[in-house]
Structure 1
Amino acid sequence: MRAVRLSVVTAAATAAALAAVTGCTQKSDAKNGDAIQVTAADSKCETSTKTVPAGQVTLKIENKGSQATEVEIVFPDDRIVSEKENIGPGTKYTLTAEVKAGSYEIACRPGMKGHGVRQKLTVTGGKVAKRDPRLDKAVASYREWAQSEADSTIPKVKTFADAVKAGDLEAAKKAYAPSRVGWESTEPIAESFGDIDPKTDTRADGLEKGQKWTGWHALEKALWADKKIGDEQKALAGQLVTDLTDWQKRVGKAEITPTSMANGAKELLDEVASGKVTGEEERYSHTDLSDFKANVDGAQKAYELLKPVASENDAALTAELDKQFAAVNKLLDTYRTDKTSDGFVSYDKVGEADRKGLLDAVNALAEPLSKLAAAVVK
């Protein structure tokens, strides 16, 4: 779950110019080591250049503000090309992306809410080197997999919604976690559209001023905390099906590149560290470990598809990633049970020491995973 984002506006007029790159290895000619220097603060977003050539672009980000920020490369209609969330105060991060000629913005979002502070970025044309065909295959396979995850999610969401509409509290609780698995595994794609995630997966503390609380977590609170289903919840269940059907239809049109796959895998691990391990995501149902596993599975899927190229460019990195993915999955298996609908122990039964162990395992995987994007475009 991410912070709320502004709704996407009509993109028809700019779609042709703003299509994501389908093949490139040319690097930016921006100053300071072929990178755009991005300085984020509580009320500013400064960039070292406003123009780069099409191809690979690297953002060297430094957060000089007092709160965590999010930095994104976005289309004017607010679709995301690439992003990095949860950049803490005083920390730095390198983001690698691929862009085609057109108009973009670099957005810094202090507190990870709202429209943020933005700088325009013009990507000029030019000769772009042909991309490794294995990476094109990886993108196509990832898109096909993401679509299958979305397609399989809708029946599960309908089962959940039907239980809510029937007023069957226990059946709704049982169907809740399974309805979220496909979404959690492909969440970077959902977030790239901008307007779907706020309607379906926002927690109460992520709401913008004046935003109505809808989606899974509003229903989660009603089922577990309030222990009641009323007309409002039945309406929310119907709206959830509508919103997620919209997501299902859009998956095939998502902007996907090898670097967005790699960055998305890292973002899924960040989701685990910031919401699942802490217990904040599923604070009422305590089904966090189901989400946790789905996030890891989604990250691993992207990695496995990119691995043939990444292993040639950085064998040591892929060896470490293999090791750390295996370690995280082995640890998660120790929390499996057949006694709950989602197959894992209730997260409120996981003590602080065990949560620390989970966080350590996630961090051990996230660190090498942050280098995957650079490895696939060497």
Structure 2
Amino acid sequence: MRAVRVPLAAAVAVALAAVATGCTEKTDAAKGTDEHVVKVTASDDACEVSKKEFPAGHVVLDVENTGSKVTEVYVLYPDDRIVTERENIGPGTRQKVNAEVKSGSYQIACKPGMVGDGIRQQVKATGGGKAAARDPKLDAAVAAYRKYAQEQADETLPLAKKFADAVKAGDLDAAKKAYAPSRIGWERTEPVAESFGDIDPKVDLREDGLEDGQDLEKDWTGWHRLERSLWQDKKITARDKELAGLLIKDLEDWQDKVNEAEITPTSMANGAKELLDEVATGKVTGEEERYSHTDLVDFKANVEGAEKSYTLLKPVAAKNEPKLATELDRQFAALDKLLDQYREDKKSYDFESYDKVGKAERKELSDAVNALAEPLSKLAAAVVAK
């Protein structure tokens, strides 16, 4: 979970937790033809788009950051749910983001410094006739991923309830032990969770993600609020017990909505990249689990979620871009091997406390994440390529 969450956007990834249905992988957009490309120029005080209307279906955002601050760019529904996003676009850099959108109204938002509600432009996707046929392998990938996301939510609830029950009982040691396991399923599929209103900031907001005007004690809820009580304050208060119950309520809301998520091949691919971004900006730095130092558990779960999306999309990606698939196989294997050095066995989620991981080892982890993130950013284009 990145440090800054946007209440209106109600989340922030998938790179997407996505939209729409039915776009053939054999589309002009895969080659980046002008009709389907929206150029986004993001600066420190502006968000310019090359067009405010474009055909529904496959869309490519060609994003250039001309400002002095790191930025992120979103496509949002009118109610601020996320269609797609891309974080950590550095000054002077350019990135392309593939997405699938239905006809309708949207907003493109640039967030210089990755804070606030962003500078927004109203845009519209037009058309909307019968959806073009899609490779049956991609339909199978979407169906399998939907099942996977639901399984992760279903498996999370009992673990989260074990954690919440320990908090309610005032059992500090038991709550600490149950904390990290309760987050694994969430971390594997967080881009999907981010597409549902404000569930993500309710359950996974970090302390520095609060907006101006929000009260630390009143408005901060979820796992990390309880994490601070358990490890930093070393006590469980009446408010903590109340928050434990609220956490379960919010997670049950997530569990109920997972099957409603609009999932596409590009949203799966963008979501995989977002999970790696989460690792790079939160886990490797130690910011995510700053009190418990259980960052490596989240790290592994994020990588597993990204690898699941890739594995499901691989039959098409490997056909369209065989060299890319070979590179992704190699980089996932290398990162998995590196992470395994920090746990006793591959079946265990008992990872080393991250505060005991030295600077050189953290850099090694960071380098492995970056080595994977670069080819992973090309996966969305690969699954829609001719």
The normalised TM-score by structure 1 is 0.93
Q: Distance in 2 between matches of 1:77 and 1:265?
A: 24
Identity %: 65
Residue 6 of structure 2 is matched in structure 1 by 5
Q: Helix, strand or coil: the match of 2:145?
A: helix
Pairwise CA RMSD: 1.9
Deviation at 1:169, TM superposition (A): 0.4
Counterparts of 1:58-207 in structure 2, within 5 Å, are: 58-125=60-127, 128-207=131-210
Count residues with an aligned counterpart: 368
Q: Secondary structure at the match of 1:121?
A: strand
Within 2, Cα distance between the matches of 1:165 and 1:34? 52
Farther off after superposition, 342-351 or 124-133: 124-133
Aligned to 1:13: none
Pick one of 206, 215, 219 that aligns with 2:222.
215
The runs of at least 4 aligned residues of structure 1 exceeding 6 Å deviation read none
Counterpart Cα distance in 1 of 2:250 and 2:334: 36
Aligned partners of 1:176 and 1:93: how far apart in 2? 36
2:278 paired residue among 251, 263, 271: 271
Q: CA deviation at 1:89?
A: 2.0
SS of equivalent residue, structure 1 residue 286? coil
CA distance in 2: counterparts of 1:96 and 1:174, whole angstroms: 40
CA contact (8 A) 1:27 1:55 kept: no
Deviations 1:24-64 (A, max 9, x none): 34445997585211011222110001111122111110112
**Quick one: which amino acid aligns to residue 291 of structure 1?**
D
Residue equivalent to 2:15: none
- CA shift, 1:88, in A, is 1.8
Aligned to 2:194, what secondary structure does the other structure show? helix
1:370 equivalenced with 2:377 (yes/no): yes
Is 1:20 aligned to residue 27 of structure 2?
A: no
Q: Alpha carbons of 1:203 and 1:19: their partners in 2 closer, same or farther (altered >3 Å)? A: closer
User: By how many angstroms is 1:258 displaced?
Assistant: 0.4
The letter of the residue matching 1:160 is F
Contact 2:19/2:102 (CA < 8 Å) preserved in 1?
A: yes
Shift of 1:210: 2.8
Q: Is the 8 A contact 2:6 2:116 kept in 1?
A: yes
1:229 partner SS:
coil
1:194, CA displacement in angstroms?
Answer: 3.7
Q: Give distance in 2, aligned partners of 1:8 and 1:48.
A: 23
Which position in structure 1 is the counterpart of 2:57? 55
Gaps of 5+ in 2: 11-17
1:143 and 1:44 map into 2 onto residues whose CA distance is 37
Choose which of 36, 39, 44 in structure 2 pairs with 1:37: 39
Give the whole-Å Cα distance in 1 for the aligned partners of 2:184 and 2:128.
41
For the residues of structure 2 that align with 1:126 and 1:173, how far apart are their CA atoms? Answer: 51
| Alignment match, 2:13 | none
Structure 1 residues 115 and 330, CA, compared in 2 at 3 Å: closer, same or farther?
same
Contact 2:22 2:132 in 1 (8 A): no
Are 2:315 and 1:313 aligned? no
Contact kept? 2:32, 2:60, Cα under 8 Å: no
Q: Which amino acid aligns with 1:251?
A: V
Contact 1:8/1:193 (<8 A) preserved: no
Q: Where does structure 1 lack aligned partners over 5 or more consecutive residues?
A: 10-17
Counterparts of 1:41 and 1:96 in 2: how far apart (Å)?
21
Amino acid at match of 1:171: A
1:346 lines up with 2:353 in the alignment: yes
SS at 1:282's partner residue? Answer: coil
Q: Could you tell me how far 1:117 is from its partner in structure 2? A: 1.3
Are the equivalent residues in 2 in contact too, given 1:30–1:52 (CA < 8 A)? no
For residues 290-332 of structure 1, what are the alpha-carbon distances to aligned partners after superposition, in whole Å with 9 as ceiling and x for unaligned? Answer: 0000000000000000000000000000011001101000111
